Structure 1
């Protein structure tokens, strides 16, 4: 049987043992060494079921009121849902902020959002004690079903979105994908498998080359090469020939014959 050597939200340093045994899986900020899971960076321990991760104390997303983020449901409580927003602290989605529908007391909350599901939420409050409240009342805030997720550095998010959403709009139009970019660096993409792959490739390219001038033009050219141009369906030759025939027939009806003139 595995043994947890630390508690949730304990601060660990690189090389510190977190778990003994094989019942847990290492994730971000950790690695396996023999039958132990060890921290690879300074940060806070996060225990998500049987998955162990370490959230860095620096260089991570700092929640701000008004931000739209993508989070994962990690717990269902009597009063709502606890959400992992990939920050040092989890967020709370209360019943009143979860849906416009009335939720009866004692209702099965997993019918709305279950553990492991992803949702797009808006941060409504951050207290000095780092208690974070989120809401799903607003445009584009919903459960994210299907599609795929990628993570980018939070410092690259403004470049991916672009001025007034210009960059992300360009990606959406070119790939016909639905895309939500969370301020916490998590991006959701939903479309055909081929277009999802192109959108992911483009977003990673933007994150990698965010410092390069003229990036918008570079990405537009890149998309033009990657995305096949939509075919313009032209009318068939037979249909084109039928049109003048109809016109001629009408003209013949209107023009009296020589016999009629007599």
Structure 2
């Protein structure tokens, strides 16, 4: 009793992933009696006792706690409208933008101007997918210079890796700055980041293939 399908293996709906009570179902799988069964197409991911599926494709579904990258597209009296590649714009209110006191009628473009990119966290997703953002927290900031590339949101967990292992590898070997948003936006900055972009595309294409870490190390000159 235990895992029937190994980590990183491909499954389709109805496949039995595990049996017994040693594992708990998370995203993309469900329990039926003593079996954990795949509810969608994806790649098996095991984290301690939790089993989930990483979808091969899919659109981004925002949820509270996600760190995202977005662009300022409008400024109003009470905050900023942020385009994060979702159907709805997100709101970054004045009170959630900074710990600094901002007086009424202040020029908010002094803080975040049109077309600025930011790393923010989703603080709430309300009815109708109304999204509130916050800039209060570790690693949340305005991005300067650099470039933005789009990846499939379903590949973000693989780009980050378990406990940040893959993203740390990418940073260490490329010597570039990297920020990854759960919404499939990746910001990079540094000299000669072409190999880094190539590595990210390899991760996108081959996220389900074993030996990926070694391939990325070789591509970036780590071995």
TM-score range, shorter chain: 0.7 to 0.9
Aligned ranges 1:1-262 → 2 under 5 Å: 59-192=58-191, 194=192, 196-224=193-221
Aligned to 1:167, what secondary structure does the other structure show?
helix
Partner of 2:15: none
Please report how far the alpha carbon of residue 108 of structure 1 lies from its aligned counterpart in structure 2 after TM superposition: 0.3
Partner of 1:257: none
Map Cα deviations across residues 132-188 of structure 1 (whole Å, 9 max, x no partner).
Answer: 000001111111110111000001000100111000100101111110000000000
Contact residue 196 and residue 220 of structure 2 kept, 8 A: no
Please report how far the alpha carbon of residue 128 of structure 1 lies from its aligned counterpart in structure 2 after TM superposition: 2.2
CA distance in 2, matches of 1:209, 1:59: 16
Aligned to 1:224, what secondary structure does the other structure show?
coil
CA distance in 2, matches of 1:128, 1:178: 35
Please report how far the alpha carbon of residue 60 of structure 1 lies from its aligned counterpart in structure 2 after TM superposition: 2.1
Larger radius of gyration: 1
Please report how far the alpha carbon of residue 59 of structure 1 lies from its aligned counterpart in structure 2 after TM superposition: 3.6
Q: CA RMSD, aligned part only? A: 1.5
Task: Normalising by structure 1, report the TM-score.
Answer: 0.62
CA distance in 2, matches of 1:216, 1:175: 14
CA distance in 2, matches of 1:162, 1:80: 34
* Higher RCO, 1 vs 2 (CA within 8 Å, ≥6 residues apart): 2
CA distance in 2, matches of 1:206, 1:75: 34
**Structure 1: which 5+ runs fail to align?**
1-57, 230-262
CA distance in 2, matches of 1:60, 1:71: 16
CA distance in 1, matches of 2:61, 2:77: 27
The answer to which structure has the higher strand fraction is: 2
After the TM superposition, which segments of 4 or more aligned residues of structure 1 sit over 2 Å from their partners?
Answer: none
CA distance in 2, matches of 1:165, 1:139: 15
CA distance in 1, matches of 2:221, 2:115: 36
CA distance in 2, matches of 1:116, 1:223: 32
**Structure 2: which 5+ runs fail to align?**
1-56
The answer to which structure has the higher helix fraction is: 1
